[in-house]
């Protein structure tokens, strides 16, 4: 099998990739196992993709690990997921440090169990000086909540007179989001064949290229990532312009 990595154009990589890691439960069920087994195996994919993104020079990787809606799952599954999160961070933090990966968390941090908050905060602090890949975990995350929280912040600034209504720009709004420190993702990948956004980065994905693959997350490997990158590189990002305009803009000027 050809290594797809050799075909990826390193000069045209997205700066930020966002992934909805989906299909763990079905993957486990297909093997006659409990859904939680799929979550365990999914951690191997996380490690592999964090590695792959670091190696190739991606600057930001956001992984949707737990949505606010996921709190509605059976308690045993939620508990297992939180425990897995704590154990994984505990186990991986040394490697993150070594591999120059900087950890961030977005979402409703306060709603996570105390032990989880503590482990995350420590890992964030321990990796704060790293300058390689920024790994952003979306935990207890809801894009609608994020947008509402930003709106409240802006409303409060307007009410106090710190900000004029006419100064509420896209940029100001962006600065009030959880993701204010990161550029918008150019590429969003969702595994498992589902073709929806599920309350993920609704504001930030406005012009992202969306890539859907039937592969379940526990089977997702570096070659699948390269496949997504190749697909991304075959697309023409027009941002409302015509194809002719894009081609003239990118033609070398003599």
Active site residue 130: no
Cβ at position 125, least distance to Mg ion in Å: 31
- Report the distance separating Cα 115 and Cα 122, nearest Å: 11
Backbone dihedral angles phi then psi of residue 166, each to the nearest 5 degrees: -70, -15
Residue numbers 48-87 binding Mg ion by CB under 5 A: none
Spatial separation of the C-alpha atoms in residues 170 and 155, rounded to whole Å: 14
15 or 34: whose CB is closer to ligand IPE? 34
Cα–Cα dist 144/252, whole Å: 42
Torsion of CA 192, 198, 201, 204, to 10 degrees: 80
Size of the site for Mg ion (CB under 5 A): 1
* Min dist. Cβ of residue 8 to ligand IPE (A): 25
Of 192 and 204, the one with the shorter C-beta distance to ligand IPE is 192
Nearer to Mg ion, 74 or 240 (CB): 74
CB nearer to Mg ion: give 14 or 42. Answer: 42
**CA gap 26, 124 in Å, rounded:** 31
Q: Indicate the residue whose CB is closest to ligand IPE.
A: 25
| 146 touching Mg ion, by CB under 5 A | no
The answer to whether 61 touches 134, Cβ cutoff 8 Å, is yes
Map tokens 């930003």 to a residue: 150
CA distances to 68, 121, 138 from 114, rounded to whole Å, are 17, 10, 17
Choose which of 18, 22, 106, 139 interacts with Mg ion (CB under 5 A).
22
Q: Which residues have a Cβ under 8 Å from the Cβ of 160 and sit 6 or more positions away?
A: none
| Residue 24 contact partner, candidates ligand IPE, Mg ion, none, CB within 5 to 8 A by sort of partner | ligand IPE
Shortest reach from residue 179's CB to Mg ion, in Å: 22
Query: Which ranges of the chain would DSSP assign to H, the alpha helix?
Result: 24-30, 35-56, 75-98, 114-126, 143-160, 170-175, 222-233, 243-250
The yes-or-no answer on residue 224 being catalytic is no
Which range in 7-15, 20-28, 114-122, 205-213 contacts Mg ion by CB under 5 A? Answer: 20-28
CB of 12 to ligand IPE, least distance (A): 27
Whichever of 26 and 175 has its CB closer to ligand IPE, that residue is 26
Binding footprint of ligand IPE on the chain (CB under 6 A): 20-26, 64-67, 69-70, 81, 192, 194, 196, 198
Binding footprint of Mg ion on the chain (CB under 5 A) = 22
Supply the residues annotated as catalytic.
Answer: 22, 70
């Amino acid at each position: 099998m050809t290594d797809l990595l050799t075909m990826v154009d390193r000069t045209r990589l997205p700066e930020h990739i966002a992934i909805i890691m989906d299909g763990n439960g079905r993957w486990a069920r297909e093997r006659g196992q409990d859904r939680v087994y799929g979550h365990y195996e999914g951690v191997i994919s996380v490690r592999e993709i964090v590695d792959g993104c670091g190696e190739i020079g991606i600057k930001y990787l956001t992984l949707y690990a737990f949505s606010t809606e996921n709190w509605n799952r059976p308690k045993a599954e939620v508990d297992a997921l939180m425990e897995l999160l704590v154990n994984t961070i505990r186990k991986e933090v040394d490697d993150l440090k070594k591999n120059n990966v900087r950890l961030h968390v977005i979402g409703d941090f306060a709603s996570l169990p105390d032990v989880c908050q503590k482990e995350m905060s420590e890992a964030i602090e321990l990796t704060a000086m790293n300058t390689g890949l920024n790994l952003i975990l979306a935990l207890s995350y809801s894009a609608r909540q994020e947008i509402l929280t930003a709106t409240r912040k802006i409303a409060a600034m307007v009410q106090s007179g710190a900000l004029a209504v006419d100064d509420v720009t896209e940029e100001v709004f962006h600065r009030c989001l959880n993701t204010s420190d990161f550029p918008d993702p150019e590429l969003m990948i969702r595994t498992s064949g589902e073709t929806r956004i599920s309350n993920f980065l609704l504001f930030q994905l406005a012009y992202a290229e969306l890539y859907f693959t039937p592969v379940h997350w526990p089977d997702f490997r570096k070659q699948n990532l390269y496949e997504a990158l190749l697909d991304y590189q075959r697309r023409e990002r027009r941002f409302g312009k015509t194809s002719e305009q894009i081609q003239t803009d990118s033609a070398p000027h003599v």
